[in-house]
A and B are shown apart, each in its own frame.
Chain A
Amino acid sequence: MRITQIDGGRATIEADGLVQHTSLALVPEAGVGDYVLVHAGYAITVLDEEEADERLKLFAELEEFERGEGGG
């Protein structure tokens, strides 16, 4: 979910029309615009890239993974 606002240690996060509030106590380095993974009311990590259309991205990754036979 994407951080749209930060107030003190709390962030407003959004995804697909869902708005939530979460604590940034465990990811103090996160900033507005970052995508975070949330667990039980706390952000636990900043995600590397945007989570928008997470599923499409995953499948793109998988297809790449399929093609890159050298991996594993």
Chain B
Amino acid sequence: MAERSDVLRGIAAKLAAAAGGPRTYMEVCGTHTMAISRFGLRDLVPPEMRLVSGPGCPVCVTAMGDLDLVVALARLPDVSLATFGDLVRVPSSTTSLAEERAAGADVHVLYSAADAVELAADDARRQVVFVGIGFETTAPTVAAALLEARARDLANFSVLSLHKTMPMALRALLASGDVRLDGFILPGHVSVVTGTAMYEFLVDEFGVGGVVAGFEAGDVLAALLMLARQSSPAIEIQYRRAVHAEGNPTAMAVIEQVFEPCDADWRGLGVIPGSGLRLRDEFAAFDAARRFDVDPGETREPAGCRCGDVLRGVLDPPQCPLFGRRCTPETPVGACMVSSEGSCAAHYRYQAIADD
């Protein structure tokens, strides 16, 4: 529809006027990474406006050691490993879940943690291990599933919690001083759950603002315009139809009930204190990390992989020497190219066409 693109071009023009100079905005949500590339938004925003991808892809920020642990669990003969889709193709130190599945491991790709509970209920002889990755959007769903498993007395269900939370990672990012940012495009669905109070420290401690954005092209452009127009840094919500400042108290309560903060190892960022979620002692019986004793083996990072730098926003994917050469979606070296929400995959799949 002509009118739709007119509206968007109108916003793009206003962006240039509002920014008045070079700006760098970072998004920290895999779905935003995808949306920006898929809709070609980098073409629509003014050339001095740089859109950078941060550590927002849950699969991409999973540390190699944790991946190796997941593989080690999948290799146990009575384990049925259940996971969200993208994890299956990510290279671990020596292999991947897809390859292990071909070699006979019982690996299930699921859409919901609730399905893992049903899997456990269906066959008491199998140990169902659900790999919990994702941020504050996914954590409450895994918590709810775990409570269901407990209510149903399922002794063969456990969760390996690799969940991470955003605020500490953002703090680590800004504190490192590696990237100069003028603002954040804040994650839409994480904020549905958490509300916006947890972002205030960005303004108070670092003088950086943020706008919570939805996932349509119009949402992201409107959020960028709101960012560009901020006369002083603030936390705002563009995604008003879904996000409230107070978040979803039921979801937050269930996270609180099942998980507690812990240190977490982020690919590219290293160990960030208090940035992970682990199962509380009360739920030790459902904690795969405590139930199984496996040796993940020696951790080996792929040679030359710059995923870490890409995740911190220090390197744009095309600047990685492996990008498009040794590292492609068919032959990925690092997680950023495998995951559909990874910055490298998004860049590769949705490259802009240079004018010929």
Contacts and interface: CB of A to CB of B under 8 A. Distances in A.
Report A-B touching, CB under 8 Å.
yes
A interface, size bucket = 20 to 34
Contacts of A25: 144, 147-148, 254
A41 B241 contact: no
Given A26-B140, A44-B140, A45-B248, A62 B218 contact: yes
Interface residues of B, number: 44
23 contacts: A23-B141, A26-B141, A27-B248, A27-B250, A37-B189, A40-B84, A40-B111, A40-B113, A41-B111, A42-B140, A44-B140, A44-B192, A44-B193, A45-B244, A45-B248, A47-B241, A51-B241, A57-B241, A62-B11, A62-B218, A65-B225, A72-B225, A72-B226
A54 B216 CA distance: 10
A40 B113 CA distance: 7
A28 B192 CA distance: 15
Given A59-B4, A62-B222, A39 B250 contact: no
Majority DSSP secondary structure for residues of A touching B:
mixed
Contacts of B219: 58
Given A55-B216, A58-B219, A40 B230 contact: no
Interface in B7-60: 7-8, 10-11, 14, 18
Interface string A55-69: 101110111011000
Contacts of B7: 59, 62-63, 66
A41 B113 contact: yes
A26 B114 contact: no
B242 interface: yes
Majority DSSP secondary structure for residues of B touching A:
helix
Contact of A44 (B113, B221, B240, B248): B248
A55 B241 CA distance: 12
Given A37-B189, A44-B189, A62-B8, 13 more contacts: A23-B144, A26-B254, A27-B248, A27-B250, A40-B112, A45-B192, A45-B248, A54-B216, A55-B216, A58-B214, A59-B218, A63-B7, A65-B222
